[in-house]
Structure 1
Amino acid sequence: MTEDGRLLGVMMVCGHRIDGATLYVESDDVDKEVTVGMWTAARPLGAGLTTWTLDAPAAGWTVSRPLASLDARTTYALYGWTKDNSWSSSSVSFTPGDLDRLAPGKVRYIEVSDKGDESAVTVTMAEFAARACPDG
């Protein structure tokens, strides 16, 4: 989230490349996974941290599908992808209620334990940058 409360996409690229990101309605039924926002990077994103605003055009990004209104009763997922489908990032799931609990400079992501257990955590941007790529 930005200082002025705008929704921010945050991605750490770890050792591969990412070409864009999609926000979709999360569902066990693939036919119900509706895209509610899509952004394409001006050039492939290499290793490192990147951010972009989800509700308006951002430098270095093209809005492929403008962000739709988010429904309070719906779970969404955001993930990064490559144009040739050779790689994708981990996704993070959230509801608008989860976003209401975010503060500027905080990031929600899925942390994977050494045992492979996944849990949603909220940390500072600096902590995310330090922890998101466990292998370096």
Structure 2
Amino acid sequence: MITSGAERPCRPFWRVSLACGLLALGSVATLTGCETVAGAGATGISVDGQGRPVVVFALCNDHIDGATIFRDRIAADPKGGDSSVSVADWDAVSPVTPAIAMHASLNTAEPSASWLRVGPVEALQPGTRYVAYGWTRDNTWFTGHVEFTLERLSKLKPGQVLTQTYVEADKRDEDRVQPYSQFAAEACA
């Protein structure tokens, strides 16, 4: 993911896991570049009173230092080695810990004084799948990601949190909408 013209060493955990798993299956002896990043909680997406995206976090341990929203690379994007494109990045002014996670929501249109926008921001477009997650600068922790589209956000009311739950029987993720308190309690259960 690109931020301020420099490549961030952190990749979404599921992409790192997939890449490392495929390398391991291929009997590759050395997995250089594949890092193991521990989960610190979950990411959800909500909306403010004007229907604009608000990234929310449920932290179970440790902290996060920032947040990213990305999308899949398309043909019109500049060439790059990554299959995703960062559309917005933020640094937390101070680490977001479990004690303050509830109050560290990130309004993407009007971030609070707790967040600093890093680099350019790409306007979110209808019909595009976005993914949001939290991370640490040293790649030791992350929050599980949430996928969303503007169409899915249009169905939310302020205070509702969209997440996904994997349904084993169907072998797919299913959207789930719940109040923040339930999202936080279940993420750390």
Give per-residue Cα distances to partners, 1:76-131, cap 9 Å, x unaligned. 1000000011111100011111111111111111335799x753311112221222
Give per-residue Cα distances to partners, 1:56-92, cap 9 Å, x unaligned. 2312110113542112121110000000111111000
Q: Which residue of 1 aligns with 2:123?
A: 69
Structure 2 residue 93 is matched with structure 1 residue 38: no
The runs of 5 or more residues in structure 2 that have no matched partner are 1-46, 74-80
Contact 2:54/2:108 (<8 A) preserved:
yes
Partner AA of 2:175 in structure 1: A
Q: CA RMSD in A?
A: 2.5
**% of aligned pairs identical?**
32
Structure having the higher Rg: 2
The runs of 5 or more residues in structure 1 that have no matched partner are none
Q: Which residue of 2 aligns with 1:6?
A: 52
Residues of 2 paired with 1:127 and 1:113: CA distance?
A: 19
Structure 2 residue 185 is matched with structure 1 residue 130: yes
Contact 1:55/1:66 (<8 A) preserved:
no
87-96 or 59-68, which deviates more: 59-68
In the alignment of these two chains, the number of paired residues is 133
Q: Which residue of 2 aligns with 1:19?
A: 65
SS of match in other structure, 2:138: coil
Q: Which residue of 2 aligns with 1:78?
A: 132
Residues of 1 paired with 2:182 and 2:120: CA distance?
A: 29
Contact 1:20/1:38 (<8 A) preserved:
yes
